[in-house]
Structure 1
Amino acid sequence: MDLIVDSEFNVEGDRYINFDENLFLELDKICKVLKKQISTDSKRILVSELRQEKMSRPYVRERLKSITDLEFNSYLGNARKPVNNDYSGIYLFGSCEENMIIPVYVGISRNIVRRLGKHFWATGSNSASWMYRIAKKYNQANRENHKSHIEKLQEDLTGRIYVTIYPLAEPYKLHIAEAYIASKLKTYWNTFKTH
């Protein structure tokens, strides 16, 4: 059994990327686009609007499609079969503070439509990780009592939280982009602690 294979791809078929000047230029471009979009009415969505529709995937899908010029790009598992009803990419949350939209959290997902639903409808500490982090920060939640605190935060905060997306299907770039954009935009609620 050979554990080392000389290739341009990992075991899942994802192409390795080059850490060169072009990568950082691309990440800067993505960062600028997201920052501009979160501040532009026609390129962002108020999360409470999505919650009113109970995060219905068809509704969220259509609203996201209305703010991006790009096509769906998500793939099903390792088969690399296009799903054609979701986005793989980066999402950015911004909070309306004194009539300005401040970037507060950036995330990545192979299925952004589904992931947004988990942030603002689910109550698990892993599935609603950002809400759990907020509740924990303000000593309102721990692993045992987090559910009701997360639900309250979801109701209270969604009226001032906006979301925008940037479709990106390359897994390596997604992971690098998340940390890069979080650092560049200084998104307070991102952490990169590992398990």
Structure 2
Amino acid sequence: MESKSAKIKLKDHWPSNFLPDETRGFDEITENFSPMLAKLTDKSRVISIYENFGKEGVGNATSRKFLKTLIPQLKQDEDFKGIYLFWLNDEPFYTGISRGVVKRIHQHIKGSNHFSSSLSYTMGKEFHNEIEGIEHSGTRKELDFDKFSGPFKKILREECQVSLLPIKGSTELYLFEVYTAVQLKLHYYNRFKTH
């Protein structure tokens, strides 16, 4: 058996069966972003999180059933890849993307820790700083999630709304998230910082 050495695969050495996620150029990918944003922000598509996701006993399957009228191409037994936009008092304040949007919204409003409910964790960390008068310097796990993030999960679940847009291509989805955040000036909660 011949020993192989590690090599970075430059274009000429990509496997013949490799299929890239996206073959369109940047301009072609982004040319429909304006109408896509208009659809995402169409007020007639903004729905209650509580009614569609947050009520007691409403899980992923029930949420998908509710969404079938809003997004007819959805298969009732499948989640969908796309973008979501959170609203409060007719104002969008946060956008996110997921391979499973329905599941992700449930995590935001029902998640029990900083991993599953990252938006409420971010809000709770800031709340900690306001209440305690000092910045939380511990790990994510060390923040009292129920005390500081719990109130935000409740607000997201009971008072907020969401709009949704399926997007199949990963590159398009990632670019559109940034486009949406910049165009809607969602700078407070959508911060694209690296670690």
Same fold at TM > 0.5: yes
| Alignment-mate amino acid for residue 69 of structure 2 | S
Q: How many residues align?
A: 175
SS in 1 for 2:25: coil
Alignment partners' CA distance in 2, 1:108 and 1:185 = 15
Greater share of strand: 1
If you compute each CA radius of gyration, which structure gives the higher value, 1 or 2? 2
Is 1:17 aligned to residue 24 of structure 2?
A: yes
Structure 2 stretches lacking a partner, 5+ long: 1-5
| Alignment-mate amino acid for residue 131 of structure 1 | S
1:55 Cα offset (Å): 4.5
How many percent of aligned residue pairs carry the same amino acid?
27
Q: Is the 8 A contact 1:17 1:172 kept in 2?
A: no
| Alignment-mate amino acid for residue 118 of structure 1 | Q
Alignment partners' CA distance in 1, 2:103 and 2:95 = 16
Instruction: Give the equivalent residue in structure 1 for 2:40.
Output: 34
Structure 1 stretches lacking a partner, 5+ long: 73-82
Q: Deviations over 1:30-89 (max 9, x none)?
A: 1111111xx22xx232112221135401111112222123334xxxxxxxxxx9511111
- How well do the aligned residues superpose, as a CA RMSD in angstroms? 2.6
Alignment partners' CA distance in 1, 2:96 and 2:18 = 24
Q: CA separation of 1:123/1:177 partners in 2, compared to 1, >3 Å: closer, same or farther? A: same
Instruction: Give the equivalent residue in structure 2 for 1:131.
Output: 120
Q: Deviations over 1:167-188 (max 9, x none)?
A: 0110011101101101101123
Alignment partners' CA distance in 1, 2:193 and 2:65 = 34
Q: Is the 8 A contact 1:55 1:117 kept in 2?
A: no
Q: Is the 8 A contact 1:70 1:167 kept in 2?
A: no
Is 1:174 aligned to residue 134 of structure 2?
A: no
